[in-house]
Structure 1
């Protein structure tokens, strides 16, 4: 029975590699994938665009075990079928002289669920990174993970350092309230601006936008827990000034501290980026103005105005909430606003933070950016004060 199925004398012998024999090396094939699939009763499996259908590799080995022409350890056509791979029942051991990279390259596009040798991409197979990913993609994924880890370590160091500085100022400068208020506000704003500058480099880390939004929420909660008592936002300082809760001297001092911290944070982060200690820092200084406004100036103005109104109203409304839950509510709101308008204006609604992030853009187009990122949030804050003090009391 086996002798009847051998190829005739002088015919090309089958290739020892099943992937080449069934569809990639046409000159060495002894049968077509369609005829083979018809013999074993299995429908062809679609491959990459433009290629002919190919039965699943396990079916090939099963057919070869029943006497069909197949590879053997000795390289002949009538040997026993190869044992299945212990790692994956859908992949067979390659014949002698072949290797798994050959089979992996040959099976590209076949949709095989076998695990990729790269552990990072093996975990992400459900998200689209399949077994056909190249070692270069695996190396890029590893570099991205190491880059995120370096950025997280840097931001954690900033948070710890600012916490120590705030505690030291609280111990030593209680008797000098103006200097104490200035330094505490400057340290707090420095932390937010420095961490946000670093987070802006991680916006393209896969999976997008889940990684960026998760980091935004996590660090917003961290800022809320570690910077209690500081506004870190000129609009948040302007609100009690307008309502008479803060003196003009104290309010102006805090706003000055916030902009000083914004400049210091930008200078510090540019110095760190120039060292190029992490993968996200490579080429960060050569970007210049990143053009956060991806819409018209009028639409950007309205978006920042609306976001400022929503944020300030939420802060006022959340004053009666337990502080343990208030931080998470505010962080969730900020994350939602960033998701809704981050691709249009950046969803900043903080004049000091906007200046720290996009100082180059302010230098190039000062009028446009000052209207969108300075005037719109301040106007939204004044509108919130008017609504909160004039309209709500009348209704109540």
Structure 2
């Protein structure tokens, strides 16, 4: 049975993490040369992404699926308002395919996204070990054990689920149904719906950096399975989406390819591909230290 104080602790820890990330962003802008700030932005944003969804596991335990869905919606909105990086290799891959960035830049961004996600786990573990609430204290013993695999379906089905989730999300955003500031709510709502539909299959992350932070090296989850489901699946979805966009440009269904490419590039920095681990890491933790 949850108490308001337990929920309040989760929001407090999340607030502390967001403030620390904002401070890191300010410091990085002062100390890091402008041409390299994109990489620090990716690391910090991915760090914040993983921290947010790890704290979301406590909310899931306290408030159940619908409470978690509500939390997730506002969490994604907070990401959109604070992130200055894509925090998703899928977005980076898309920008590479559309010719907005070169291969070296894309690879460096992905590396820093993965690194940022890896730093989130020890940060959350340190916060939870403060045992500011009973739910957090109860999770501490599990954080030093090896997590079970999130994949609850055969490998091929899991990869297809991640592919379809990524493609659906990208396609809905590319439609630009509402535009303007309302687009952030479409983004958040789309993610919540997709996650709620498919969380029991793969954890429905459709973000390789998030998956690398939370499922890599889990029990009964070999390396090839992780790559096939959580990397090749989402990236294949991005590839299909980019092919459709390019085809629409070439056949004149989209008038100005430069404008479209510019809009999609800007969208990939405003709209964060942040995903949920929903039920995977609840009761368990990450890696064997």
Deviation at 1:319, TM superposition (A): 9.4
Could you tell me which runs of 5 or more consecutive residues in structure 2 were left unpaired when the two chains were aligned. Answer: 254-289
Q: State how far apart, in whole Å, the 1-side matches of 2:177 and 2:102 are.
A: 21
Matched, 1:225 2:81: yes
Q: State how far apart, in whole Å, the 2-side matches of 1:363 and 1:283 are.
A: 24
In the alignment, which of 89, 104, 110 is matched to residue 249 of structure 1?
104
Contact 2:38 2:85 in 1 (8 A): no
Larger RCO (alpha carbons 8 Å, 6+ apart): 2
Note closer, same or farther for the CA distance 1:291–1:327 as it changes in structure 2 (3 Å cut): same
Q: Root-mean-square deviation (CA), in Å?
A: 2.1
How does the TM-score come out when normalised to structure 1?
0.59
Deviations 1:233-270 (A, max 9, x none): 00100111122110222211211110000110112112
Deviation at 1:370, TM superposition (A): 1.7
Deviations 1:305-341 (A, max 9, x none): 100101122333339821x111111001011111111
Greater fraction helix: 2
Contact 1:202 1:280 in 2 (8 A): no
Note closer, same or farther for the CA distance 1:330–1:215 as it changes in structure 2 (3 Å cut): same
Matched, 1:272 2:127: yes
Deviations 1:20-53 (A, max 9, x none): xxxxxxxxxxxxxxxxxxxxxxxxxxxxxxxxxx
How does the TM-score come out when normalised to structure 2?
0.80
Q: State how far apart, in whole Å, the 2-side matches of 1:154 and 1:340 are.
A: 28
Matched, 1:367 2:224: yes
1:333 is paired with a residue whose SS is helix
1:307 is paired with a residue whose SS is helix
1:277 is paired with a residue whose SS is coil
Contact 1:178 1:250 in 2 (8 A): no
In the alignment, which of 137, 141, 152 is matched to residue 2 of structure 2?
141
Alignment of 1:1-396 (within 5 A): 140-142=1-3, 145-173=4-32, 176-206=33-63, 208-227=64-83, 229-284=84-139, 285-286=141-142, 288-318=146-176, 321-322=179-180, 324-361=181-218, 364-391=221-248, 393-394=250-251, 396=253
Query: In the comparison of the two structures, how many residue pairs are matched?
Result: 250
Runs of 4+ aligned structure 1 residues displaced above 6 Å come to: none
Q: State how far apart, in whole Å, the 1-side matches of 2:187 and 2:96 are.
A: 22
